[in-house]
Structure 1
């Protein structure tokens, strides 16, 4: 059997298509924030990231998956390769790429950075995880910290000298942040003494930089119960004192042995066992959760990108395997002496590959659209433009996090299946990516939590203004597809589904307003699923329009565009019809699992 070609991780042609044909990313350069950029600067950043991901980062993945970090003598020792990799990741400019020049950033649009960073996630998501977490933590200090915190903590984090984490979860609270118990007591010097425990802290300790800064939710003594009493603190593992770093009484209590993401440690931390853990408050007391949501939204987009990237690298591996693995012959071929055919010639293998393609490229398009709205929400020319983009971003974030995680896992199982018996062996990589992918449905809020957020908050936001803005985006795409010559039945089907979802949302919202909150939220997981199918159908119709426009222009990309049209047809014909069934389920009030009593199981 011929060995598969080197894995490209993500299709360069598809990334360029998403940026410049589906979206008009160059038009972002008309915004003052991005005026120093052009397609040329975007290409330079993309190319350097692609090369590093393929040539340097990807070869380290299997090694780091096989040798997870070790907790020894009170410290975490990560794979020795991270000592070489992290400075190189820093040198690429990743830590502050989207941040303004005054903090050392390149002020790149998130739209460009997101698709570039997906290559790194596909290559070695654990190694990139240290970068993503540090960027998010430093951005919180940039947004809410005072001048001393920015100079002392943020600047070192953006320079890659220190790393950062997000420390929310506690053993007794899990996702229920209202039950956070970590305490903060004001000290005479203006710092706070921090006591408590955190768990599942990714990157919570390592041995390749001199310090880790934990952005920590804690409750100031005397604060009210619930989330209103939470404040945000920067708690370094080693604090600056007298011109040097000293131990800050942050202890690793243990390491979590995970199914995937094995290269980055997940830890339990104890603060203040010796009574001398110091934290510095960011912003106002009691504003911690709203401040943390800035990082959480960024992190949710990052998890969505991880989902797409992990599905993509496995899809590319499965595609190469199917093109090179000879097995069997067509059903009509009776001569057993004839050469076997590559398995990609079998219709069922093409079915599995096309579903992976539809999930991967539909998910990538959804993440690109969410990132675009983030850029406009932060830097749009008018307040009205920024407000509308902000509503769309808030609506898209739970979808952009959840769809790639849930459907990405399905895509990864198909990649294993395409490999047949080899897929279930550790000699081939798809099983490792399958393990990695499963964590994405838990990271940064489970699918159930995202569904409650989507239906209970985001779809109803501003009296339905977010849903109205989304509907306008869908109709604009339908009109673009019609003008491009896409089968009008596709756009009609999308418009019909959009109308069904709008009416369902209004009905459920009315039930909630009438006090029937349980009935409103009973099928929030199904609502998430139907909205995800709808949103990805929207992105596939946009891709179909861009593909038809490309065909009309002529050139040598006909095969690429035909592949896009086939994948769009697949999603719009096989997935979009499911919206009607799910809408009926959500409206029916079917109550089997809510009626089910614990003692009946």
Structure 2
């Protein structure tokens, strides 16, 4: 018996549904920034990306998972397939898809690019990772770099000649960026001599392009301790000098042996062992972390998309397996001579598949609305519109990163379960996706850090304006669902949960203002969980409304719309009630693990 060979990665019908029925992505074309685009240009980009993901990229996934990069002769050697794949990814226009037209880009909306890139992530997340990291690093130089850096570094990254990374983490600091020790000493030539070490640098070395540019956080000599003393530098592995590339004293100290994401190396780097590592300041001195947050926030959205994509490709594997694997008979069927039935006819298998569908399509809808807000925040017609969208984007970003990672891991585990014993074997793909998925809850800030960010900063931003804007969006969706004749109790349940979260947030905020910060943040992880459930319930109610509207129009695809309504019913009936339980837990201030002393373990 062999595993199914065909996998759509994501449902094209669902992607189009999210773009044009749940959201009105075509309305972005009314903004001056996207006036040259239309649904037709969006479709061309989506279709080319889909074809490449399915026909070219997906067949390489298993090969790259089985043969991870190796460290040899001081260099990292990735899978030979990347020599062919990377130029093809560049030719698709991925590095410049959302770059402004004046900088040579296509200036596509992030909303369209995000959902298109999800196909590539589902096909081979490691191969796409080189693109995503390079695009983010180039965007930082575009936003804050000097004209010289844009010409010498950014343009080569956009052309696919060089790749880029984000180099923040250090062995002794981990996620605590205030403890970064990498030093930057001003030199007479206007550059800085960089010394220090970085670790867990994804894509930090490879052998398929001429160079790698590390966007690096470092502390200029004399700068204050903490995050205020950090500056941002572009540090190439090989620096341009007299028209050629020369060694820049950036050394690979080793490659991390990972359980997943095996196609892209994660490495340790040493800067300036020979005293001649040169870096170029990007933006203002002392503003490194605020500059870097641009790439970090983009990366959090990318991690969320990876989470959705990894859950999606595994879901489609499980769905195909369940449709084609005969085993057993209904419990009420006593005639053993009758043929076995496909396992999808067993209710518990449908339960597992429906939960995967609810997680995947709810998560994708959350990423789509976050991306839509990013487009409006950057290009909305009025300052008020841009500011409101920016607040919503900031609020949604930790949710959009965390929910797909945490619940995506659960969805991937269910995909293994649907396969039964075969799922626990390396002959089938779900075990590999389960390994890949786990990293998404660690990448770009652990779930615990995202919870602290959400509760400690985002819901309190601008005096609660972000949370108020979110509540207004929920109310608008409840009204849309009412007009579409969605069962009224669904909207009522969402409104009730929204009110509970508003009241809890006010109580926790008051505790923080009274100096009880530990009390406020004690259950930040649970707050993240309840807010994620609330946000995805909001997105499922929006999908239910769009599905009812589609049925009322008599649109083709009744089965698709009915499936949406069943998934919405499942999520709102089985997950949304958990908000009340989690609200009560946060409100009581239950202190078992904060009271627990290290020696008691």
TM-score of the aligned structures, taking structure 2 as reference length: 1.00
> Following TM superposition, by how much is the alpha carbon of 1:283 offset from its aligned partner in structure 2, in angstroms?
1.2
Q: Deviations over 1:353-405 (max 9, x none)?
A: 00000000000000000000000000000000000000000000000000000
Question: What corresponds to 2:169 in structure 1?
Answer: 169
Q: Deviations over 1:286-316 (max 9, x none)?
A: 0000000000000000000000000000000
8 Å contact kept, 2:3–2:428: no
Question: What corresponds to 1:389 in structure 2?
Answer: 389
CA distance in structure 2 between the partners assigned to 1:97 and 1:325 by the alignment: 41
| Residue 256 (structure 2) pairs with residue 249 (structure 1) | no
Question: What corresponds to 1:473 in structure 2?
Answer: 473
Secondary structure of the structure 1 residue equivalent to 2:205: coil
CA distance in structure 2 between the partners assigned to 1:3 and 1:434 by the alignment: 16
Question: What corresponds to 2:136 in structure 1?
Answer: 136
8 Å contact kept, 2:300–2:398: yes
CA distance in structure 2 between the partners assigned to 1:4 and 1:430 by the alignment: 12
Q: Deviations over 1:309-358 (max 9, x none)?
A: 00000000000000000000001111101000000000000000000000
| Residue 538 (structure 2) pairs with residue 555 (structure 1) | no
Question: What corresponds to 2:292 in structure 1?
Answer: 292
> Following TM superposition, by how much is the alpha carbon of 1:525 offset from its aligned partner in structure 2, in angstroms?
0.1
Q: Deviations over 1:4-49 (max 9, x none)?
A: 3510000000000000000000000000000000000000000000
Poorly superposed stretches of 4+, deviation over 2 Å: 1-5
CA distance in structure 1 between the partners assigned to 2:175 and 2:543 by the alignment: 36
Q: Deviations over 1:115-136 (max 9, x none)?
A: 0000000000000000000000
Question: What corresponds to 2:341 in structure 1?
Answer: 341
| Residue 424 (structure 2) pairs with residue 424 (structure 1) | yes
Secondary structure of the structure 1 residue equivalent to 2:94: coil
CA distance in structure 1 between the partners assigned to 2:556 and 2:170 by the alignment: 55
8 Å contact kept, 1:7–1:316: yes
> Following TM superposition, by how much is the alpha carbon of 1:2 offset from its aligned partner in structure 2, in angstroms?
8.0
CA distance in structure 2 between the partners assigned to 1:142 and 1:261 by the alignment: 28
Question: Which consecutive unaligned segments of at least 5 residues does structure 2 have?
Answer: none
Question: What corresponds to 2:452 in structure 1?
Answer: 452
CA distance in structure 2 between the partners assigned to 1:80 and 1:381 by the alignment: 47
Question: What corresponds to 2:352 in structure 1?
Answer: 352
Secondary structure of the structure 1 residue equivalent to 2:193: strand
Secondary structure of the structure 2 residue equivalent to 1:165: strand
Secondary structure of the structure 2 residue equivalent to 1:143: helix
> Following TM superposition, by how much is the alpha carbon of 1:3 offset from its aligned partner in structure 2, in angstroms?
5.7
Question: Which consecutive unaligned segments of at least 5 residues does structure 1 have?
Answer: none
Secondary structure of the structure 2 residue equivalent to 1:293: helix
8 Å contact kept, 1:232–1:282: yes
Q: Deviations over 1:415-440 (max 9, x none)?
A: 00000000000000000000000000
CA distance in structure 2 between the partners assigned to 1:240 and 1:293 by the alignment: 27
Question: What corresponds to 2:185 in structure 1?
Answer: 185
CA distance in structure 1 between the partners assigned to 2:535 and 2:70 by the alignment: 41
Q: Superposition pairs for residues 12-161 of structure 1, below 5 Å?
A: 12-161=12-161
Q: Superposition pairs for residues 164-313 of structure 1, below 5 Å?
A: 164-313=164-313
Secondary structure of the structure 1 residue equivalent to 2:33: helix
8 Å contact kept, 1:3–1:324: no
> Following TM superposition, by how much is the alpha carbon of 1:556 offset from its aligned partner in structure 2, in angstroms?
2.6
Question: What corresponds to 1:526 in structure 2?
Answer: 526
> Following TM superposition, by how much is the alpha carbon of 1:555 offset from its aligned partner in structure 2, in angstroms?
3.3
CA distance in structure 2 between the partners assigned to 1:444 and 1:95 by the alignment: 21
Secondary structure of the structure 2 residue equivalent to 1:95: helix
Q: Deviations over 1:259-283 (max 9, x none)?
A: 1000000000000000000000011
CA distance in structure 1 between the partners assigned to 2:296 and 2:222 by the alignment: 26
CA distance in structure 2 between the partners assigned to 1:389 and 1:96 by the alignment: 24
Question: What corresponds to 2:364 in structure 1?
Answer: 364
